[in-house]
Chains A and B, each alone.
Chain A
Amino acid sequence: MKYQVVIGLEVHTQLTTNTKIFCGCSTRFGAEPNSQTCPVCLGFPGALPVLNKQVVENAILAGLATNCSITQRNVFARKNYFYPDLPKGYQISQFDLPICQHGHLDIEVDGEQKRIGITRIHMEEDAGKLVHADIPGVDDSCVDLNRACTPLLEIVSEPDMRSPDEAIAYLKKLHQIVMYLGICDGNLEEGSFRCDANVSLMPVGSTVFGTRAELKNINSFKFIKQAIEYEIERQAEILDDGGKVIQETRLFDPNTGTTRSMRGKEEAHDYRYFPDPDLVPVLITDQWIEDVRATLPELPEAKRARYVAELGLPEYDAEVLVSSRELAQYYEETVALFPQAKTVSNWVMGEVSRALNEDNNRSITDCQVTPALLADLLKLMEKGTISGKIAKTVFDEMYKTGKAPEKIVEEKGLVQVSDTGAIEAMVDEVLNNNPAQVEQYRGGKETVFGFFVGQVMRASKGKANPAVVNELLLKKLNG
């Protein structure tokens, strides 16, 4: 039978606050185990959690950026379960009154737009980390509670996605937005942006969802796609054999590209939520929402549209340039100094990106060629001081040394030769040395023209002004 896959996604984003959600311990990654803990995040009896205001503001930002309505009265709830990485025996989360609801994101797959609903976004604390530490003689599990009580936003989508590609498009969009907002560092490998996928199948044409499996432990976009594709195959096989898909949690194994069942978690899903009496309600006024709204940066979608409408860039360029906030900022700063949008775009997408890629995928924020330096280089090119070809050589030198383009041009004697007399001498020499080609050209084979240009450019070590070269060659050849 043919099946339609139905996918809903739950994303946990770790916020970039300095401190934990309910205590003042640092959230820095990679510290000595249990060194960033206190009675609150260790779950000592009698310790009182106090909410980090920044977490609420980050949550409002996320809600506004994903078209959600912001809940006025927020309550924290206890989600009760036992696990060694959860010191209190409950996780403080939100249940029936999440801070953001009823949002959506628009994605594009194969040129088609689609709206994906966002059911809710809520604030919660992270659990600690279970480590199977490499300590001689210790086969037990080890617990590091540095991560316990770190602030998370859980962002839950509607089951609106109908292919792995749609799921990836949604995730990438969401990832881009939280990075633009600066509320999450977006590091999938370190677990700052974690995704669980709810996957089910139904016969094509049906509107009744099948039983879903929840896929966990997927820490890259590639793995998410793999996990969903594997799950589609697995469930289709079960259904084809007349079997029933069991509702369960399944772990993705990146080594085999398969998912496997996590045993015996069913009963534990009875979390017995109730309001946490330690935390008073959070009331969010319209004024507060507007104050946060005022700090919203221009989001990628709006930026892209503006690049096309106001700067006249092609869709493709705009899409690439807004892919990260830092790249867009670099581009905008350069255009402000050298207002030729398409030329700057070509350089940022071309030379700049290429150099960064070849340099171990270095971040644009670490690029020695600052927007000001790049603009200076483009100005030299525009004035005709150097040719486009030489500009690339100069750029490479700037990238390596961070030197100003004028300095490099001067040091290396790269100034473009526009002096007609000097070029004419080179043109004459090339024509004299290649009588056969001259004969061919005059006999009607005009494609030889490029050969002459190349020879003259080589004779000038790339410094001859190409426009002057063309003009002189034409004049001499056509006599």
Chain B
Amino acid sequence: MKITRSEVEHVARLARLELSDSELDTFTGQMDGILAYVEKLNALDTEGIVPTSHAVPMENAFRPDQPADSIGVEAALANAPLRAESFFRVPKVIE
């Protein structure tokens, strides 16, 4: 086994996903299969090769520190399910 049922449960919880027992079984099996397949890469000798972080051979894409227009409060809040004055309104966060 490349991944356990409880690991899948943990990852699902981190992603705020609620999975039924049968879904957990299904996904554990599927993810195990995927990981086993990808495991083949471990057969390659990658000694001295810099880990790939990006697929596109490009670097240093910068923006100068010059202000651009913002979209405005109304546009920003247009899709908000709830608002209060100019704020996004969310269930109370207690900490």
Interfacial residues, chain A to chain B (CB-CB below 8 A): 17-19, 23-26, 32-39, 42, 50-54, 56, 73, 75, 80, 82-84, 130-133, 135, 138-145, 251, 262, 267-268, 270, 272, 275, 277, 279-283
Contacts and interface: CB of A to CB of B under 8 A. Distances in A.
B71 interface: yes
B2 interface: no
B84 A19 contact: no
Interface of B: 10, 13-14, 16, 50, 53-56, 58-73, 76-77, 82, 84-93, 95
A339 B61 CA distance: 49
B65 A38 contact: no
Main secondary structure, interface of B, reads loop
A35 B53 contact: no
Given A37-B76, A53-B65, A280-B61, A141 B91 contact: yes
B63 A53 contact: yes
A275 B54 contact: yes
A62 B28 CA distance: 46
A19 B59 contact: no
| Best-buried of B60, B73, B85 by chain A (most CB within 10 Å) | B60
The 8 closest A-B pairs by CB, nearest first: A24-B68, A142-B87, A275-B53, A54-B65, A53-B62, A143-B88, A33-B86, A50-B63
B70 to A, nearest CB: 5
18 contacts: A17-B65, A24-B63, A25-B68, A32-B73, A33-B73, A38-B70, A50-B61, A51-B62, A73-B50, A135-B84, A140-B90, A141-B91, A142-B84, A142-B88, A143-B89, A144-B86, A144-B87, A144-B88
A187 to B, nearest CB: 20
Contacts of A139: 92
Contacts of A56: 62
Contact of A131 (B54, B68, B87): B87
Given A23-B68, A35-B86, A142-B84, A272 B60 contact: no
B70 A18 contact: no
Nearest to A54: B65
Given A54-B65, A282-B59, A34 B14 contact: no
